[in-house]
């Protein structure tokens, strides 16, 4: 439709908006591209082979994965209930779920410490089964989960909402129990939204800095004490300067970028189907 | 037999009040009403998809008010079919059989029977999104029928179809009902559909049943102005279309032949709007091809206009203004002529 008009002279609004849009794009893309091309592939490879770096990337990815799986197990049911039921205070609840996104993450870390600390309620509770949340991998996991779960819940909820409730009704009248209906009809149809929500959650989790910083600096992992990748970038910058921090930063950006490309591929496939 | 006693359902935006209804085994029953009357809610309540506030639902004398939907043996087909988009046609139809743990060796023959019944064997390996509206509707019917439900619930099954498909589907439904003898409850807002398919009709308004009867009974004796306004948008007749001289087609509707314009032959339904019928004291010479003499058997006031029933027989309901009624003294027992054009008759 816009094509039909393209032969006419562009109006002032289009020109001004194009100019402003270009400035925005330059602002977003320049730092990313400049950082990425500043380190040669050789340097990146050497950096990746440093024990401190690959352990850091491994612990980050692994903790992110655990956080995402727990998120799936506990967050998907919540998302389904939010999509299917209306109740008083639902709006408020949905806003509260998104709170971790908008608060400073160092504050989120403090809040977590306040309930998961050794002598705090959850700290004591989980202490009975031998899980501690200070200076442990579990601490990384809860910090990641807290700040990134809204992405999964929101995406899964929208996915469930897009499944017509009458499909579930038909399944029920055809003899399917609520469980069978959920696993054979609802879940397969909302699966892409849940998957893209999971990737978003994971990508956000592995980027987490603030909350983890409060809870744990060196993570006990495979007999070593690596730092999660975002903290490693900060640590190198602080102690050795920009040139030392840059290759690690590039690696972190690339991993997130790959996750994002996968996410995009999945969502475009969804549109075609 | 399905019986609803004092059924009350409260969904906030939709409320059903004291619904009492008996649908006989094997009956083609129509729930008729305007949008928002609560027809779909009533249908879904019968299927067990809404909590019942008060009252009881029973099928064949057994109370099922609290029974889970998957245990009721009730099939439902929605206006927009609701085929499972992630499953092939075959898997859609097999869904119910697998859910009810039908023995493996029975699954295939039962699917074959269902698709043969609806003539959709060639669609088995297609994906739902590649089907036309009519094809989807048949698959949805097959999916419901394959589980051998005691009641088949149809929610506006013809409304989303284009006019041609709609007409064929209507015949299909009538034929299906004749062959399977399954009890059907069919929701619609269209009196033509009710007249063409229904053994009996219940008219629903604002969550209450306002009248139950045969389509022609409701038409002849609407219990309220609401029913009259709603049902009397059409005079509906069933008849047999045959070719007569110079290209005209006449339809015998039991006693009289109506001239119509159509390509259809054989059994047809006709609809005629009350406002398209002209009333006069004497026979009018005009271009209109249909003119009959009859007696006024009922006059129903609806304010500025009135419904006048003229029995030829059959009965024709005509809409006239108060002024015309007074000038022509249109009262019960008066002999009048009715005149209408062949092209005013809708054939379906």
Whether the predicted pLDDT of A2 surpasses 70: no
Residue in A164, A176, A185 closest to B70 by CB: A176
Most trustworthy range by pLDDT among A18-22, B54-58, B201-205: A18-22
Whether the predicted pLDDT of B230 surpasses 90: no
B235: phi then psi, degrees, rounded to nearest 5: -90, 125
Contact yes or no for B57/B2 (Cβ under 8 A): yes
- In angstroms, the Cα distances linking A104 to A111, A231, B247 are 11, 16, 83
- The pLDDT value given to residue A197: 93
- The pLDDT value given to residue B274: 86
Mean pLDDT of B222-250: 76
Mean pLDDT of A171-184: 95
- The pLDDT value given to residue B267: 84
CB contact under 8 A, A173 and B86: no
- Who contacts B125 (Cβ-Cβ below 8 Å, separation ≥6)? B88, B89, B90
- The pLDDT value given to residue B233: 67
Contact yes or no for B93/B131 (Cβ under 8 A): no
| A177: chain B residues, CB-CB within 8 Å | 68, 70, 99
The pLDDT mean for chain B works out to 88
d(C-alpha A185, C-alpha A195), whole Å:
16
The residue whose two tokens read 């009333």 is: B279
Whether the predicted pLDDT of B171 surpasses 80: yes
CB contact under 8 A, B69 and A172: yes
- The pLDDT value given to residue A3: 52
| Alpha helix (H) residue ranges in B130-202 | 133-145, 163-180, 191-197
For A64-108, how does the pLDDT look when each residue is reduced to its tens digit (9 = 90+)? 999 999 999 999 999 999 999 988 899 999 999 999 988 999 999
Q: What is the largest CA-CA distance in chain B?
A: 75
Give B234's Cβ-side CA count (13 Å radius).
21
Contact yes or no for A138/A122 (Cβ under 8 A): no
Range in A250-264, B44-58, B196-210, B225-239 with the lowest mean pLDDT: B225-239
State the CB neighbour count (10 A cutoff) for residue B35: 8
Helix-strand-coil percent breakdown of chain A, rounded to 5?
Answer: 80, 0, 20
- The pLDDT value given to residue A120: 86
Whether the predicted pLDDT of B283 surpasses 50: yes
For B78-126, how does the pLDDT look when each residue is reduced to its tens digit (9 = 90+)? 988 899 999 999 999 999 999 988 898 999 999 999 999 999 999 999 9
Residue in A169, A175, A180 closest to B76 by CB: A169
| A173: chain B residues, CB-CB within 8 Å | 47-49, 69-70, 72, 74-76, 144, 149, 153
- The pLDDT value given to residue B37: 85
Is the CB of residue A85 less than 8 Å away from at least one CB of chain B? no
Of B242, B248, B214, B220, the C-alpha closest to B232 is B220
Contact yes or no for A208/A148 (Cβ under 8 A): yes
pTM of the model: 0.79
Contact yes or no for B22/B59 (Cβ under 8 A): no
Q: What is the CA radius of gyration of chain A?
A: 22
The residue whose two tokens read 């994971």 is: A202
Quote the minimal CA–CA distance from B76 to chain A in Å.
6
| B79: chain A residues, CB-CB within 8 Å | none
- In angstroms, the Cα distances linking B323 to A34, B229, B306 are 86, 19, 10
d(C-alpha B48, C-alpha B70), whole Å:
8
pLDDT band with cut points at 50, 70 and 90 for residue A7: low
- In angstroms, the Cα distances linking A143 to A109, A127, B229 are 7, 17, 65
Burial class (CB in 10 A: 0-12, 13-18, 19+), B39: buried
Angle at A75 between CA A73 and CA A76, to 5 degrees: 75
Q: What DSSP element (H or E) covers A124?
A: helix A121-127
- The pLDDT value given to residue B161: 85
d(C-alpha B19, C-alpha A273), whole Å:
43
d(C-alpha B195, C-alpha B317), whole Å:
14
Quote the minimal CA–CA distance from A88 to chain B in Å.
13
pLDDT band with cut points at 50, 70 and 90 for residue A1: very low
Give strand ranges (E) for chain B.
Answer: 2-10, 15-23, 28-32, 54-59, 62-63, 74-77, 151-155, 183-188, 200-205, 208-213, 235-243, 249-252, 257-260, 266-272, 278-280, 290-301, 305-311, 315-321, 335-340, 346-347
d(C-alpha B151, C-alpha A173), whole Å:
11
- The pLDDT value given to residue B266: 82
| Nearest chain B residue to A174, by CA | B96
Mean pLDDT of A43-48: 86
The pLDDT mean for chain A works out to 89
For A106-120, how does the pLDDT look when each residue is reduced to its tens digit (9 = 90+)? 999 999 988 998 888
Whether the predicted pLDDT of A9 surpasses 80: no
Using a CB–CB cut-off of 8 Å, the residues of B that contact A are: 44, 47-49, 68-70, 72, 74-76, 78, 82, 84-86, 95-96, 99-100, 143-144, 147, 149, 153
ipTM of model over 0.90? no
The residue whose two tokens read 């003119």 is: B291
**DSSP string covering A217-262:** SS--BTTB-PPPHHHHHHHHHHHH-HHHHHHHHHHHHHHHHHHHHH
CB contact under 8 A, A164 and B69: no
């Amino acid at each position: 439709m816009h094509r039909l008009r393209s032969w006419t002279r562009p109006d002032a609004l289009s020109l001004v908006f194009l100019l402003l849009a270009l400035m925005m794009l330059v602002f977003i893309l320049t730092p990313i591209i400049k950082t990425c091309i500043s380190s040669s592939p050789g340097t990146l490879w050497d950096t990746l082979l440093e024990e401190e770096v690959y352990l850091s990337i491994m612990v980050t990815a692994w903790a992110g994965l655990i956080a995402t799986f727990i998120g799936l197990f506990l967050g998907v049911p919540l998302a389904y209930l939010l999509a299917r039921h209306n109740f008083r205070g639902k709006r408020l609840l949905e806003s509260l779920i998104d709170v971790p996104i908008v608060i400073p993450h160092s504050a989120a870390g403090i809040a977590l410490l306040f309930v998961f600390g050794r002598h705090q309620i959850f700290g004591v509770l989980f202490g009975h089964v031998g899980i501690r949340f200070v200076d442990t991998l579990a601490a990384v996991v809860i910090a990641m989960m807290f700040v990134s779960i809204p992405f999964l819940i929101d995406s899964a909820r929208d996915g469930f909402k897009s499944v017509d409730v009458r499909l579930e009704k038909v399944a029920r009248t055809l003899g399917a129990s609520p469980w069978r209906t959920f696993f054979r009809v609802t879940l397969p149809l909302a699966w892409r939204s849940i998957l893209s929500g999971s990737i978003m959650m994971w990508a956000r989790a592995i980027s987490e800095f603030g909350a983890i910083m409060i809870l744990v600096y060196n993570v006990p992992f495979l007999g070593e004490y690596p730092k999660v990748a975002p903290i490693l970038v900060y640590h190198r910058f602080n102690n050795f300067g920009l040139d030392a921090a840059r290759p690690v930063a590039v690696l972190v950006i690339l991993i997130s970028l790959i996750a994002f490309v996968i996410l995009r591929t999945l969502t475009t496939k969804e549109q075609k189907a | 037999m399905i019986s609803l006693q004092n059924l009350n359902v409260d969904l906030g935006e939709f409320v059903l009040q004291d619904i009492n209804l008996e649908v006989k085994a094997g009956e083609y029953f129509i729930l008729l009403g305007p949008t928002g009357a609560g027809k779909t809610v009533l249908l879904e309540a019968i299927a067990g998809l809404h909590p019942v506030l008060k009252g009881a639902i029973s099928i064949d004398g057994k109370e099922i008010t609290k029974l889970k939907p998957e245990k009721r043996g009730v099939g439902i087909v929605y206006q927009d079919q609701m085929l499972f988009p992630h499953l092939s046609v075959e898997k859609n139809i097999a869904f119910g059989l697998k859910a009810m743990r039908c023995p493996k060796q029975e699954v295939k023959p039962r699917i074959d029977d269902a698709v043969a019944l609806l003539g959709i064997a060639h669609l088995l390996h297609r994906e739902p999104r590649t089907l036309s509206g009519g094809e989807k509707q048949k698959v949805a019917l097959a999916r419901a029928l394959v589980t051998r439900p005691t009641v088949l619930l149809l929610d506006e099954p013809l409304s989303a179809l284009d006019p041609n498909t709609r007409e064929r589907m209507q015949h299909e439904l009538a034929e299906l009902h004749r062959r399977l003898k399954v009890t059907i409850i069919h929701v619609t807002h269209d009196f033509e559909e009710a007249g063409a398919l229904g053994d009996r009709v219940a008219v629903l308004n604002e969550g209450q049943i306002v009248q139950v009867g045969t389509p022609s009974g409701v038409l002849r004796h609407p219990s309220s102005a609401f029913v009259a306004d709603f049902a009397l948008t059409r005079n509906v007749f069933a008849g047999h279309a045959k070719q007569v001289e110079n290209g005209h087609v006449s339809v015998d509707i039991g006693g009289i032949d109506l001239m119509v314009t159509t390509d259809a032959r054989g059994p047809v339904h006709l609809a005629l709007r009350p406002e398209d019928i002209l009333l006069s004291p004497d026979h009018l010479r005009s271009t209109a091809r249909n003119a009959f003499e009859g007696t006024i058997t009922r006059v129903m006031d609806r304010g500025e206009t009135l419904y006048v029933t003229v029995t030829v027989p059959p009965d024709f309901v005509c809409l006239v203004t108060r002024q015309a009624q007074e000038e022509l003294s249109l009262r019960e027992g008066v002999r009048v002529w009715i005149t209408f054009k062949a092209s005013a008759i809708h054939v379906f």
